[in-house]
Structure 1
């Protein structure tokens, strides 16, 4: 009887070990090899600046309320509250110790497109690599080149404040297995080049869905509700639906949307408010063709 119990226990223990090993193999960090980043050539810093504004980097990584040149000091520290705890945006200035000044392009690229940190660890998706995974390698290279021209800051951002089990980074591999990919968020019917550019900007560097799309209990996007609005991550109210069927911008024309992104004024002469103020100010730096492309894409996505 005792021998039989020991055999059962050994089988269960062995199965547990095999299962844990299988889970790790399926969910371990999966960075691109350094060779994937070795032939991109010198960064185009001017293009990198446009990627910077499209990605809204200063909105999370600069001091809250910063204006002018202060928006280019990416010292981090901004608290990002979520149902899983509070994340603090890191310092991404070119400082060699507190920031990313000692990073290689491969380390930066893998953080952006694979959610893998410089030590090979999973990054939390509060950093929207789930969207940045759709960026081109060239844009990542140009952005990295631009960031290296910005002021250094020696400020060290606070650590994340996460309760168990959300503080176990290994579990993020399971989250990635469920939700992380670089495929288009929506299938569009015969999009022209303008709409394709808008799709790239919205689904990639612009990461608009991170706020405008509802999430399930594990924090993954509800795929059938792309851009259909979501609870406000900052507290009260909701982030609006921005699909063609919405009450917010559904009746707007492409030119109305493009004008709003440039000026912050709605067709009814109201002004942008809340966290969208910084988003609009960032997008206003982009060329008119990009704002028009975003508008075209928002009119082409499925109405929700």
Structure 2
């Protein structure tokens, strides 16, 4: 009888835990009040946000140039320890892309990682950084999106093994890792640092590549921007702090010039996946590149992450 009671008790605890986990992992979008407060977007301003966010780097065809960078048909494979993520078609095609989305759908995707169908997006889509974006930039970006071409053809789905193919589990991951809080403290009286932090930690999502991750795939903020393994297995993403193995010898003007021209202080040139990032940064105002440089010089120095 005692064993039966123990078994029943454990079963009830299991059911309670499962129900609690189900509710805790539910997708949570923006509130109705937040959606209603979205400002009217401006497409011209939205284009700058588009380049700062590097949207074309993942969703345009590899090696796309010129206007082809605006054709966001997806298909690029992003390898990871959890499986292969495939960048979706996010063009304005109503059937294969996101042309049927509303502004609210777009804002929920960018800021909360929630789809129009009420499902979690995988964080291979870097909403963990985009959640720090202000609502004005989201509205401007959506206004610019309306000007982009429709691209036919649905990208293949992700190739993930169990249990990573269960999207509901991302809700628990979000509880641990999704936050709109700034990563580092800065002198908020300095507008250049404020702007630089916003660009790097928000739309620029620099930490998604330049910061190592823990076993659950969350960013290790204790080693912020100190480098990480290259997801495609070739080499490493560099340390961009002032610590050993980083860019401590670079001045603010060196960093800003690199983002504009692609040339390092040693007269080397940008390479690998950073080529697309640098080309995007070159489209920004000089003030933005200078702000990014100022922020990177203010980031705590770390030796290159193991």
Q: TM-score by structure 1 length? A: 0.96
Give the counterpart of 1:276 among 274, 277, 294. 274
Distance 1:246 1:283, change over 3 A: farther
Partner SS, residue 107 of structure 1: helix
Distance 1:41 1:24, change over 3 A: same
Q: How many Å apart are 1:24 and its aligned residue?
A: 2.1
How many Å separate the matches in 2 of 1:12 and 1:153?
A: 53
Aligned to 2:120: 122
* Segment of structure 1 superposing worse, 276-285 or 240-249: 240-249
1:260 equivalent in alignment to 2:230: no
Aligned to 1:155: 153
1:229 equivalent in alignment to 2:227: yes
How many Å separate the matches in 2 of 1:221 and 1:166?
A: 18
1:24 equivalent in alignment to 2:30: no
What RMSD in Å do the two structures reach over aligned CA positions? 1.3
Partner SS, residue 14 of structure 2: helix
Give the counterpart of 1:132 among 130, 133, 139. 130
Q: How many Å apart are 1:145 and its aligned residue?
A: 1.1
How many Å separate the matches in 2 of 1:41 and 1:83?
A: 39
Number of aligned residues: 302
Partner SS, residue 22 of structure 1: helix
Aligned to 2:196: 198
Is the contact made by 2:196 and 2:295 (CA closer than 8 Å) also made in structure 1? yes
Is the contact made by 2:111 and 2:133 (CA closer than 8 Å) also made in structure 1? yes
* Segment of structure 1 superposing worse, 4-13 or 25-34: 4-13
Q: TM-score by structure 2 length? A: 0.96
Partner SS, residue 98 of structure 1: coil
Aligned to 1:181: 179
Is the contact made by 1:93 and 1:148 (CA closer than 8 Å) also made in structure 2? no
Aligned to 1:209: 207
How many Å separate the matches in 2 of 1:66 and 1:130?
A: 26
1:62 equivalent in alignment to 2:60: yes
Q: How many Å apart are 1:179 and its aligned residue?
A: 1.1
Which structure 2 segments of 5+ residues have no match? Answer: none
